Amino acid sequence: MSRRLLFAPLLLALACKGDSVEVVDSEIPPSDSAAPADLDGDGSPAGEDCDDERADVFPGAEERCDGVDNDCDGTTDAGATDASAWYNDGDADGFGAGEATLACEAPAGAVAQDGDCDDDDAAYNPAASETDCADPNDYNCDGSVGYADNDGDGYPACQDCDDADAAFHPGISEICDGADNDCDGLTDDADDSLDPTTRARSYQDADSDGYGDIDFFTDSCVVPEGYVSDSADCDDGQADVNPAAAEVCNGLDDDCDALVDDADDGVDTSTGATFYADGDGDGFGDADRAQAACAQPSGFVSDQTDCDDADAAINPDADEVCNSVDDDCDALVDDADGDVDSSAGAVYYADVDGDGFGDPSAGARACAQPASTVRDDDDCDDGDAGVNPDAVEDCDGVDDDCDGDIDDPDALLGSAAACPAVDCLDAATTLSAPSSGLHWIDPTGSGAAYEAYCDMSTDGGGWSLVMRCVADYIDYDDTAWTTTALLDESVIDFTAPGCSKYEAFNSVSFTELRSSSTTDLTNDYVETFSGGYTSALTLFSGTGFQISTTYQSYFNDMMDPFGQEWGCTSYRSYGINQRDYLGTAFISGGSYCDWNGGARWGQRVNADHSGTGNHAGQGWGVYSTIGYQWSWAISQLMWVR
């Protein structure tokens, strides 16, 4: 409550000059003149409180719908915490919609009740009534209607006589189905609105056999008495003539299929006669292929004594011959028949070794095959079951498969010691499918065959491996070059370190000498000799010779950098067996070309020049006049062809 000042009656008196009037407030206690006044005690001083006589009015107070500026913000009731929600009522039906407006008083066109589902039409609001079952609209805004159309045919359940089936509703055509389609209480023929196209046609059945006459009919939903739905009777005056009747041999179309007697597959043939197939046309029938028919079919006879109706030469009137067949149908075959013509027999050949192939020199004619004989006469040795046209040819000096070729060189040459090739070139040109690897060869024809590795793919194939070095060398003066001595000949591995000399070095003749990489056989160099040599041993144990002074890059490139040419170009010499190309003397004076070197097969070059220089060799079996330490290691394969 507000506090009020009580003033004492003023005593007005006329006083003398200098007198004064004293005003006394008996309810105001003495106060500190420095503290601001807060008459209503609401915590806001009079200078800030817009009504210091009301404790519920002060800055920060809760605004209420009371016509008072409670929070001293200069507005009345604005933002009041107890304001009501109001909804716009566009169709003025007393119900609003949309978002609420909070205000102490209802805004123009607004109401307190919401829930209007169509605020543009006064017919829609929560208080509206729904009484028409045919009206699909939700007038009372409750999310449901009295209208139902479960089958979706456009007719409400209250008017539809079957709301579970869209084929039933007022206005639809009545059809012949035993149901009231248009919901008028009338069914099928009783309904004038019946669709006549749905009526079925019935046919008169005068002979009561269940089949009607197509020429006498009526259309209706229900088949009338004396009528049937079938119209297939071809004689409605005979009850035993209809589609269900059995066709018999009587010259009539009993089953109404337009086919008479034998022309009808369904004819009862027991009413006709039995005939027998004469497939070979010899006038005799097959007892196993009988056919009952009304009339004799083409290709049939009344006889049934033919014992092979697929062969016109076989019948009771035929002659017996040697063919393992009972030609005259007397149950006796070939030799068992005393009437057999033995000249028609076959020739059989003795098969003594039982390999299925006969001896062409031991044949005899007979109707039946005698024991230990065959019709074949292709055996080339009837005393050995392992020799016949089906045998596998082997390297044994025998024509195992009787094809006229002993050991079949095109397939077996070089596959075993018994059938060696002359050399790898012989194997390459003879075998139908040569492959690289070990092959047996006998270059001299002495019978002392041995295995040699053959390169069958590089440059036409046919190369015989004679020597191998992998990261190693064979000295110029090693006896391997000039004698038949072999060197690690069992090692064929192209990657195994070391050197090997093979038997082919001593005996395979050639016109081409080849050096190749151990890892890529196509990386190679070939030297051709017009006259040829009987062996590599003959070449390398003979007198050395110069082939040319042309620099051979292959032998330089295969060396490691330490052994490649670097200075001297004056005394190059490429050839065979060159130990000291310049002779026993040498040029002195410290020139680049002062020392001499060579190789069994290769070239003389200046490499690793030091002081007076070193003319070393490049290639196979290299040599240097200052020692074998200058014999460079190589990784090469030597071939001949």
Q: 595-627: b or e for each residue (b if 16 or more CB lie within 10 Å)?
A: bbbbbbbbbbbbbbbeeebbbbbbbbbbbbbbe
Tell me how many degrees the CA angle 130-135-140 measures, rounded to the nearest 5: 30
pLDDT of residue 3: 35
Among 60-64, 193-197, 342-346, 500-504, the range of highest mean pLDDT: 500-504
How remote is the C-alpha of 63 from its chain's centroid?
80
Other residues' Cβ atoms within 10 Å of the Cβ of residue 189: 13
**Sequence-distant (≥ 6) Cβ neighbours of residue 215 within 8 angstroms:** none
Given a contact cutoff of 8 angstroms between Cβ atoms, the answer to whether 431 and 441 are in contact is no
Element (H, E) at 499: strand 498-501
Alpha-carbon span 291 to 639, nearest angstrom: 85
Alpha-carbon span 200 to 228, nearest angstrom: 10
Q: How confident is the model at residue 47 (pLDDT cuts 50, 70, 90)?
A: confident
Residue 495 has pLDDT above 60, yes or no: yes
pLDDT of residue 146: 67
Alpha-carbon span 4 to 379, nearest angstrom: 155
Which one, of 226, 243, 225, lies nearest residue 234 by Cα?
A: 243
Q: Using one digit for the tens of pLDDT, what is the confidence trace for 135-182?
A: 788 777 877 776 777 888 888 878 888 878 888 889 888 899 888 888
pLDDT of residue 35: 64
Tokens of 181: 């389609």
Q: How confident is the model at residue 55 (pLDDT cuts 50, 70, 90)?
A: confident
**Sequence-distant (≥ 6) Cβ neighbours of residue 417 within 8 angstroms:** 395, 440, 449
pLDDT of residue 581: 54
**Sequence-distant (≥ 6) Cβ neighbours of residue 361 within 8 angstroms:** none
Q: How confident is the model at residue 12 (pLDDT cuts 50, 70, 90)?
A: very low
pLDDT of residue 631: 55
Q: Using one digit for the tens of pLDDT, what is the confidence trace for 588-597?
A: 444 445 555 6
Greatest alpha-carbon pair distance for the chain in Å reads 200
Residue 49 has pLDDT above 50, yes or no: yes
Q: Using one digit for the tens of pLDDT, what is the confidence trace for 302-319?
A: 999 999 999 999 999 999
pLDDT of residue 322: 87
Q: Using one digit for the tens of pLDDT, what is the confidence trace for 430-488?
A: 888 889 999 999 999 998 999 999 999 999 999 999 999 999 989 888 999 999 999 99
Among 297-306, 347-356, 392-401, 563-572, the range scoring the smallest mean pLDDT is 563-572
Range 258-274 average pLDDT: 92
Among 65-79, 403-417, 557-571, 596-610, the range of highest mean pLDDT: 65-79
Given a contact cutoff of 8 angstroms between Cβ atoms, the answer to whether 387 and 379 are in contact is yes
Range 564-578 average pLDDT: 72
Tokens of 108: 């123009």
Alpha-carbon span 417 to 301, nearest angstrom: 74
Range 67-82 average pLDDT: 85
Mean pLDDT over each residue of the chain, to the nearest integer: 83
pLDDT of residue 615: 62
Residue with tokens 């089949």: 211
Please give the DSSP secondary-structure letter assigned to residue 124. -
pLDDT of residue 118: 81
Among 344-358, 391-405, 406-420, 603-617, the range scoring the smallest mean pLDDT is 603-617
Q: Using one digit for the tens of pLDDT, what is the confidence trace for 496-508?
A: 999 999 999 999 9
**Sequence-distant (≥ 6) Cβ neighbours of residue 473 within 8 angstroms:** 499, 621, 622, 631, 632, 633, 634
pLDDT of residue 510: 98
Q: pTM value?
A: 0.42
Residue 21 has pLDDT above 60, yes or no: no
